[in-house]
């Protein structure tokens, strides 16, 4: 009798554990599917006038009109002519924003430019992350009008040597390219 109760309890635990695992797998799949929405390339080409586009990765915007963004390399032969950042829903949903950022190749940041972000670098140091302002990039933000912006590229590496970059302005606008965006933008 005791064996049947123990076996019955183990079977119930096995069924519950299996159910929980399946639920987590489904949740992870749904999150991954939602995160990898990619804008329609023909719509991006017609909006920006770019000829040769290659996708980089999803981009998260902070202090931007739209937070769910996607980055593209605008290629000229093998060189990156500019980086385009558009609404991730462009060409997919009718209410997607037509605004986009175009970031041009930069130059090495001066010590004065890097000093503007000392508090940000200190925050990363507290989290035991290495961060460094490495370059300055001229950019334009295009809506119904065009606005010139200066972005600073910040390189971040954690203790596991995961690396990523993000672009930030002096007033706190941030375009975060996450881990997969690092390699295409390493020497940009």
Residue 86 near residue 48 (C-beta atoms within 8 A): yes
What's the CA gap between 46 and 42, in Å, rounded?
6
Place of tokens 């992870």: 28
Place of tokens 């586009």: 53
pLDDT, block means (10 residues), the chain with 188 residues: 86 87 76 65 84 85 86 85 86 80 92 90 90 92 90 87 86 82 72
Model pTM? Answer: 0.75
What pLDDT does residue 34 have?
A: 55
Q: What SS3 state is found at 46? A: helix
What pLDDT does residue 32 have?
A: 58
């Amino acid at each position: 009798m005791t064996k049947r109760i123990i076996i019955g309890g183990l079977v119930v635990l096995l069924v519950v554990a299996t159910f929980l695992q399946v639920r987590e797998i489904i949740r992870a799949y749904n999150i991954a599917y939602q995160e990898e929405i990619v804008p329609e390339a023909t719509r991006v080409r017609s909006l920006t006038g770019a000829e040769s586009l290659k996708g980089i990765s999803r981009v998260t915007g902070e202090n931007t009109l739209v937070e769910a963004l996607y980055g593209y390399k605008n290629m000229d032969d093998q060189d990156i002519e500019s980086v385009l950042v558009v609404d991730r829903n462009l060409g997919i949903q009718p209410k997607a924003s037509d605004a986009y950022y175009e970031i041009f190749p930069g130059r090495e940041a001066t010590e004065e430019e890097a000093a503007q972000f000392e508090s940000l670098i200190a925050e990363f140091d507290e989290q035991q992350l290495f961060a460094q302002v490495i370059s300055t990039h001229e950019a334009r933000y295009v809506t119904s009008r065009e606005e010139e912006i200066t972005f600073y590229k910040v390189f971040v590496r954690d203790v596991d040597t995961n690396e990523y970059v993000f672009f930030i302005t002096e007033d706190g606008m941030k375009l975060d390219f996450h881990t997969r965006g690092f390699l295409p933008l390493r020497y940009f």
